[in-house]
Amino acid sequence: MKILFFQPMLKLFYKRVTCPLGLMSIASYLNANGHNAVICERFFTDKTPEEIITENNPDIIGISIVANQYLQDSIEISEAAKKLGIPVVWGGPMASEIPEEALRSGVVDYISFNEGEETWLEMANALKEGKSFDDIKGLGYIKDGAFVETEKRPFIDLKKLPPLDWELIDPPKYFQQYYQSQKMLYMYRSKGCIGRCTFCYNPKYHCSTFRTRNEEYVFDEIEYLINKYGMDGVNFSDDLLFKTEQEAIDFSNEVLRRGLKFYWGGGLRVGIIKNTETFALMHKAGCRWFLIGVETGSPKVQKEIKKYFPADKIKETFEMCHNNGITVIASFMVGLPGETADDLRETVELAKGLKSTVLGFQHFTPIPGTEIFDKLVEEGKYKPLKTLEEHANTFFGEKFSFNVSEVSDKELKVIKNYFQMRALLFKSEFKDDTDKHLFAKIAKNAFIALSGHGILHFVKSFFFGLNDFLSAVGVILHPKIRKKYNLYFFK
């Protein structure tokens, strides 16, 4: 069967194009089982969805939806498919969270929940044999006006999946400058995370499990991409790159044994790696960055969100990274439920004391299906969106649209902007081992990546950057808030 997968475009404008790993995995699996699956990256083509579909003449279409921002384009693609009478299946985290809204919109025929590989193979085989999809596990659809969800599909054994076929995409198109790498690609070695954080998609989407791919394939793919395309960096998109310290040691030793020269990093939890020697080994093997979600400095809020790490453990992990030349990108959230000014002061103090760090502050937005979301709905503090159109018009995390904390919007914004300003001002806090100002480097790289896609993107990215800069500078206009939270630059 011919299957056409779409990676939709972001609504506002391109922020960063990463390889569509989920679609690549499904397409590789289908092709290894005798089907003909191709991937269309919407951002790389000027053709309309109708033109692309007509050109490919598929039997069925699949669209991957990560978050709200992809919905508008996904609706457009689906409408074109409907006009041409081709069935449409949506998948990915966001599609799994709003199945009924999506199906009732009339533009989607099926929702494929969670992992797509086996569901797709069964769908493609059923199509070939002229059978219906009604009994295929892991699907949602509308029948006689009612929403039907078939039996839940158990997780697949990732080790049984074939290697990713990197020729399904054009890897150089996805190269990014990132830290020390000039040609960095996204890859993955595991899925899920053991955490039970109440705001995260993981407990529901991956049931707090952690599974790894066939490590041999991961290394073979890295070797292939280095040799064929000159890839020199990998950002592992895993939620949790290593579940144990031993995994990190084995991984690093294998990189060194194979003599692979590339920089790498990914997501990590505080407390997994306890010894500075392991960070030193990882650095020797090319590790240069880790993304760590700290979220808050308040033990009270930590308990609430079920992500509890004592401040000294957090500082210890950051210090070990710093001492071994590994930059930590620390992610915080402001505006969490019940968060008070005292809680935020603790967050500010913790963030200011962390070493070798890029600090990212995001406004909290509840993801449907998470524990925190259900609680907020139950308490009447959050009104769930009802239609697909409403979801498509909601900005996830980017714009400040929702505040369930005890603190005003303005204060949250000033705190967020203060850390942005700090990043601009203090090179010493934001440098990697090339001794460049990391923030300036990131900003420059983002600008190059964004504007490299035409004049419209150039203008948009210029104004986007300017807006960010002005917001950061705007912090000085709020002396009272700065005093309240100790947001000073030079003391």
DSSP-based helix, strand, coil % in the chain, nearest 5:
45, 15, 40
Q: Hey, is 329 helix, strand or coil?
A: strand
| Beta pairing class for 190-192 and 210-212 | antiparallel
Are the C-beta atoms of 315 and 357 separated by less than 8 Å? Answer: no
* Cβ contacts of 220 within 8 Å, gap of 6 or more: 163
**Residues in a beta bridge with 137:** none
Verify binding: residue 63, ligand B12, rule CB under 6 A: yes
* 153 contacts 119 by C-beta, under 8 angstroms: yes
Between 183 and 206, whose beta carbon lies closer to ligand SF4?
206
Please state the closest distance from residue 95 (CB atom) to ligand B12, in A. 7
Closest CA to 15 of 470, 480, 482, 465: 465
Q: Running DSSP on this structure, what letter comes out for residue 437?
A: B
310, 350 Cβ separation under 8 angstroms? no
Question: Contacting ligand SF4 (CB under 6 A), which of 239, 343, 429, 432?
Answer: 239
- By the 8 A CB rule, do 360 and 331 touch? yes
Q: Select 112 or 461, whichever has its Cβ closest to ligand B12.
A: 112
User: The sheet that has 146-149: what strands, in order across it?
Assistant: 36-41, 2-7, 60-64, 88-91, 110-112, 139-143, 146-149
Q: What is the number of the residue whose Cβ is closest to ligand B12?
A: 91
Binding mask 403-442 for ligand B12 (x = CB under 6 A): ----------------------------------------
Return the axis-axis angle of helices 455-473 and 438-451, rounded to nearest 10°. Answer: 150
Specify the 3-state DSSP secondary structure of 318: helix
What's the min distance (Å) between Cβ of 21 and ligand B12?
Answer: 3
Q: Which of 200, 285, 344, 359 binds ligand SF4 (CB under 6 A)?
A: 200
The DSSP symbol for 90 reads E
Q: Name the residue nearer to ligand B12 (CB basis): 66 or 84.
A: 66
- Residue 193 interacts, among ligand SF4, ligand B12, none and using kind-specific CB cut-offs from 5 to 8 Å, with ligand SF4
Q: Which is nearer to ligand SF4, 187 or 367 (CB)?
A: 367
Q: By CB under 6 A, is residue 193 in contact with ligand SF4?
A: yes
Residue 94 in the binding site for ligand B12 (CB under 6 A) = yes
Task: Return d(Cα 420, Cα 423) in angstroms, integer.
Answer: 5
Q: Which residues pair with 88 in a beta bridge?
A: 61
Q: Which stretch binds ligand SF4 (CB under 6 A): 57-65, 192-200, 383-391, 428-436?
A: 192-200
CB 215 within 8 A of CB 247: no
Q: Is 183 in the site for ligand SF4 (CB under 6 A)?
A: no
Asked if 296 interacts with ligand SF4 (CB under 6 A), we say no
The conformation of residue 35, written as its DSSP 8-state character, comes to: -
Q: What is the nearest approach in angstroms of ligand B12 to the Cβ of residue 395?
A: 8
Query: What b/e readout covers 124-159, taking b as 16+ CB neighbours within 10 angstroms?
Result: bbbbeeeeebeebebbbbbeeeeeeebeebeebebe
Site for ligand B12 in 166-225 (CB under 6 A): 186, 188, 200-201
Sign of the four-CA dihedral 439, 414, 467, 71: positive
Asked whether position 24 contacts ligand SF4 by CB under 6 A, the answer is no
- Say how far apart CA 168 and CA 36 lie, in whole Å: 11
Would you count residue 243 as binding ligand SF4 (CB under 6 A)? no
Residue 92 near which of ligand SF4, ligand B12, none (CB within 5-8 Å, type-dependent): ligand B12
Q: Convert residues 302-331 into a mask of x (bound to ligand SF4 by CB under 6 A) and - (unbound).
A: -----x------------------------
Q: Is 478 in the site for ligand SF4 (CB under 6 A)?
A: no
Helix (H, G, I), strand (E, B) or coil at 393: coil
| Span from 62-70, 197-205, 383-391, 438-446 in contact with ligand SF4 (CB under 6 A) | 197-205
Please report whether residue 195 would count as binding ligand SF4 according to CB under 6 A. Answer: yes
How many residues of this chain bind ligand B12 (CB under 6 A)?
A: 41
Enumerate binding residues for ligand SF4 (CB under 6 A).
193, 195, 197, 200, 202, 239-240, 269, 293, 307
Enumerate binding residues for ligand B12 (CB under 6 A).
7, 10, 15-16, 18, 20-23, 25-26, 62-64, 66-67, 69, 89-94, 97, 112, 115-117, 120, 186, 188, 200-201, 237-239, 362, 367, 396-398
